[in-house]
Structures are given as structure tokens and as C-alpha cells.
Amino acid sequence: MPPFFVSAMNEFILDQRLADDCHELGMLELCKVLLMNNASVSWLILVPQCSATELTELNEADQAVLLAEINKIAGFLESIPAVEKLNIAALGNVVSQLHVHVIGRNSEDACWPDPVWGRLTEAPYDSADVRVMAIALAEQLGPDFLVNRNVIV
């Protein structure tokens, strides 16, 4: 694990709005993996543990790790039968801390074909489903994924 990561981890504080809106499922090498607490779509969020607000602030090596982690999360979502399409986006107009949405869409989901932001009514997960999602991620991603024990106990 490169030194920058240890340093960034020590200082890293998840944005409060992301913490409030999501369940923290676990960590990959660079990113925290969050589950948006809305069960009407399969919506994961990667948050690089650093101080960046834009993708372009990451150096080339960190961008490559982020891209690899996007692929891992995208692959997980693509393994869910209901997921027909991915939406991948770094917006940050409301929450400035750099975060990447990786969302599984379905042509019959709650706001298809619109983007999800601001278009979904509340549909919180129950804790059992969050646990199932965290365990499924851990099983598919293997040792690359450090599951958040708080969601699986």
C-alpha cells in the first residue's frame, strides 16, 4: 500500500451528507464503497479517500486505481439480473468531496430513462438487505474488498 494512501486514510473524513444518505459497505484500495439508501435502483458510490473535489486533481496513478475500482463495482452491478445499463458519473454540484456514482439501471425502474438525481422518492433499505449487498460484494470482489463489519453483524 503506497504511503499516500496511509496518509490520506488517516486524514480522511467522509462528507456528512454522503454519510447520512448512504450505508458504508466497505473499502477498496483507494475508495470507500457506499450504498445509496434508496432501494429503487442499485446505486453504489465510490469515494476516493483523499482531499480531491475533481477527478483531474488525482494524479495518473490514483486515477488508474479509481478506474479499476469503477470497473470492479460496475462488474458487480452487471452481475445483478435486474441491471440492464450502467450510469457512471462524477458530478459533485451538491457534495463537493470527489465521489463517483456507479448505478445499475433498468428500463422499468422508477425514473427511467431520466438520470436518478432528484428523481427518486424515498425507498430506504432494511438492514438485512444492506447486509446481503455487503456480503455479495465481498464474495464477488474477494480480498480486494474490506467489508465494513458494522453492516454485516
Place of cell 466497505: 26
Tell whether residue 92 is a contact of its own copies (CB under 8 A): yes
Q: Minimum distance from CB of 53 to its own copies (Å)? A: 8
The sheet with strand 146-147 has its strands ordered as 100-105, 42-48, 31-36, 22-27, 146-147
Q: Which is nearer to its own copies, 37 or 53 (CB)?
A: 53
Tell whether residue 67 is a contact of its own copies (CB under 8 A): yes
Tell whether residue 85 is a contact of its own copies (CB under 8 A): yes
Torsion on CA atoms 70, 110, 20, 129, rounded to nearest 10: -80
Q: Which is nearer to its own copies, 81 or 118 (CB)?
A: 118
**Enclosing H/E stretch for 48:** strand 42-48
Q: Which residues bind its own copies (CB under 8 A)?
A: 54-56, 63-64, 67, 70-71, 74-75, 78, 85-94, 105, 112-115, 117-118
